[in-house]
Structure 1
Amino acid sequence: MESGDGLCLKEFDLDAKWLVDPKRILVGPRIGEGAHGKVHKGKYKNENVAIKIIRRGETPEEIAKTEARFAREVAMLSKVQHKNLAKFIGACKEPIMVIVTELLLGGTLRKYLLSIRPRCLDLHEAACFALDIARAMECLHSHGIIHRDLKPENLILTGDHKTVKLTDFGLAREESVTEMMTAETGTYRWMAPELYSTVTLRNGEKKHYNHKVDVYSFGIVFWEIVQNKLPFEGMSNLQAAYAAAFKNFRPNAENLPEDLASIITSCWTEDPNTRPNFSEIIQMLLKYLSTIPQPEYVTPPTMQAPENAVLPPESPGTSSLMAATRRGTGDVPKSEIEEKPSSFFSCFSGSCY
């Protein structure tokens, strides 16, 4: 079965409206890279977009695994739409695997926090960011989707730095009561303790866990937004995960306002069953926001991380975030942002990768 423009629909179960024409994709500067692919600034039908190009792998096993992950991510992106999820534009599988989404101009939450250190966000702004994230996660969970890789690198700001959107469904899974899930997980530092325990299983073994792994990650991210510090500072990613899973160690929330600390600590409790769901988290955040004054608007600082800022290493297997760029954000060199029209090129002649 083929669509009107000759694109094959048989490759994956996707409505024709989501299939992009590879001939109309122009690829520009690279703005992000991860274990499974690269993200470029680009154009589709003359619209500025983010283009995620997936590495296919070399061995038959790698190719099969990559194609399955790609099909799963595309299926989930086309299934959910929300103002706090990066807008999905479309995808194609041949001649290379590509996912096209809206281009967000505010940079990653991680880089934004680094750019304002040592200052912390106003508590109202921090809670609003957390509310955006919670609403995105509520949408995913309402569709039975577990993200499994919630962290500041997968959260992108709009150009006015007022809205946060969630990206990267590379590790997402549909939740099932009976289905067991593998130990493939997100970045260890933000990973729920029950996920880490699956990593230690013998190769090929599986273990059931549920959507509450995202609630734990949200608690760690929220703490990081409020404190503007790396969680488990001084530890490697693996040390942090081990301490959280086997020593019940958590970041220090004692200096936070009581209402705020209560929300955060309830999210990272050891027992997943006692963690709130995102509908409850949203209500708690709205109640908290009603008790604190809204600050006067302050022009955001230039998005430039300190020169001596050290980013923690990522764990193998973690999917790439869809980083965004704008003039002066520090996401990519300025020379790459101010590209000439000729710097855009079609990557479907075999020369892109």
Structure 2
Amino acid sequence: MDSENWLYSVEGTEFSLDAKWVIDPKHLFVGPRIGEGAHAKVYEGRYRNQNVAIKIVHRGETPEEIAKREARFAREVAMLSRVQHKNLVKFIGACKEPVMVIVTELLLGGTLRKYLLNLRPRCLETRVAVVFALDIARAMECLHSHGIIHRDLKPENLILTADHKTVKLVDFGLAREESLTEMMTAETGTYRWMAPELYSTVTLRHGEKKHYNHKVDAYSFAIVLWELVHNRLPFEGMSNLQAAYAAAFKNVRPSAEDLPEDLALILTSCWKEDPNARPNFTQIIKMLLHYLSMLSPPEPLIPSRSFASDNMVFPPESPGTSSLMAIRDDLGETTKAKMENKSRGFFFCFNHCY
């Protein structure tokens, strides 16, 4: 294996990927598919005897499509390789031949979306919801401290650890570095969770561009926090586009009237129409910690459940990795346990697949 650094190009600018992050396909074994997006599929796998999640990115057909996806892949690899945090999915490596591949840790707890669906009609205990929100806010604080906007914060891109006690942020396919002067694509992320400044009668047209900053993530965080507390889909009864239109042009937000005052203040400040009036994630963390300190002593955490529906595929509403998790069977047994009892032949050699 060539130990030299690999060069990637991100929108015309080359960056060097340190050799320690370069995946050797000969040691990569691909197992069952566990997620699928518009431009990528995610598989359970193994790399050098480590259980991993393998994201394989489709290159596209036309030269324009290929160039766009290669740039997006390079941008995601660049960001994953330089930002590490306990609430961000752990990056293991990447390769660009024979296909574009991103390898990360395998998270066994499932997406936050599936976790909440399995809990309905019940809601998370308030303390648990706030602890999850703190995990998300800390991940976002880390990204923003590195000048990175995620732009696609939603429950499908938040994965739980096997013990269901920690939430990690995944999918950097739409993330990019912030620039005060750069014109950035407006139609990014998923409509229901997107900040209203991403819309106008012009920017709703595909391909148009608009100025915005990291405060778009604060808005998305507020919508996710509302979901954590209520365990309901925000803007119920509306399509994704209807929700976006209502938020952007009518200043409609989910109701915060039935919430404790301090919690309602966090939500309403984060989804303010004026981005500059929204708090940053350092401030959000302080507010969440203060609210957490006022709650009664912790009750037992959420009872364990059999995630029989984890075999269902919930396709994401935006491109990228929808899940980095192991599938469970109807008895609740994770594939991790099965993997430990099977030989390496359980997986297909990556080189043979491609």
TM-score for both structures, normalised by structure 1: 0.91
CA distance in 2, matches of 1:129, 1:49: 23
Pairs within 5 Å for 1:275-294: 275-293=278-296, 294=298
Pairs within 5 Å for 1:142-291: 142-197=145-200, 200=203, 204-291=207-294
Correspondence for 2:305: 301
Pick the aligned partner of 1:67 from 67, 70, 74: 70
Pairs within 5 Å for 1:77-156: 77-156=80-159
Q: Which amino acid aligns with 2:20?
A: K
Correspondence for 2:319: 318
CA-based RMSD: 2.5
Following TM superposition, by how much is the alpha carbon of 1:265 offset from its aligned partner in structure 2, in angstroms?
A: 1.2
Q: Structure 1: give runs of 5+ residues left out of the alignment.
A: none
Q: Which amino acid aligns with 2:101?
A: V
Following TM superposition, by how much is the alpha carbon of 1:207 offset from its aligned partner in structure 2, in angstroms?
A: 1.1
Following TM superposition, by how much is the alpha carbon of 1:124 offset from its aligned partner in structure 2, in angstroms?
A: 0.2
- Contact 1:29/1:337 (<8 A) preserved: no
Q: Secondary structure at the match of 1:220?
A: helix
Pick the aligned partner of 2:53 from 50, 55, 67: 50
Q: Which amino acid aligns with 2:48?
A: K
- Contact 2:203/2:209 (<8 A) preserved: no
Q: Secondary structure at the match of 2:98?
A: coil
- Contact 2:148/2:178 (<8 A) preserved: yes
Q: Which amino acid aligns with 1:3?
A: D
Q: Which amino acid aligns with 1:169?
A: F
Q: Deviations over 1:265-320 (max 9, x none)?
A: 1111111011000000000000000000211234322224499x996x754x5322
Following TM superposition, by how much is the alpha carbon of 1:259 offset from its aligned partner in structure 2, in angstroms?
A: 1.1
Q: Which amino acid aligns with 2:288?
A: L
Q: Deviations over 1:112-143 (max 9, x none)?
A: 00011000000000000000000000000000
Q: Deviations over 1:32-74 (max 9, x none)?
A: 0001100000000010000000000011111110100000000
CA distance in 2, matches of 1:34, 1:199: 27
Correspondence for 1:346: 349
CA distance in 2, matches of 1:154, 1:328: 22
Following TM superposition, by how much is the alpha carbon of 1:256 offset from its aligned partner in structure 2, in angstroms?
A: 1.1
Following TM superposition, by how much is the alpha carbon of 1:347 offset from its aligned partner in structure 2, in angstroms?
A: 2.7
Pick the aligned partner of 1:10 from 7, 10, 17: 7
Q: Secondary structure at the match of 2:103?
A: strand
- Contact 1:150/1:186 (<8 A) preserved: yes
TM-score for both structures, normalised by structure 2: 0.90
- Contact 2:187/2:204 (<8 A) preserved: no
CA distance in 2, matches of 1:306, 1:36: 22
Q: Compared with structure 1, are the counterparts of its residues 11 and 131 closer, same or farther at alpha carbon in structure 2 (3 Å cutoff)?
A: closer
CA distance in 2, matches of 1:291, 1:143: 31
Aligned residue pairs total 344
Q: Deviations over 1:180-238 (max 9, x none)?
A: 11124011010100113387355543211000000000000000010000001111111
CA distance in 2, matches of 1:345, 1:75: 28
Q: Identity, % of aligned pairs?
A: 69
CA distance in 1, matches of 2:61, 2:331: 33
Q: Which amino acid aligns with 2:126?
A: L
**Greater strand proportion:** 2
Q: Deviations over 1:57-93 (max 9, x none)?
A: 0111111101000000000001100000000000000
Following TM superposition, by how much is the alpha carbon of 1:328 offset from its aligned partner in structure 2, in angstroms?
A: 4.3
Q: Structure 2: give runs of 5+ residues left out of the alignment.
A: 10-15
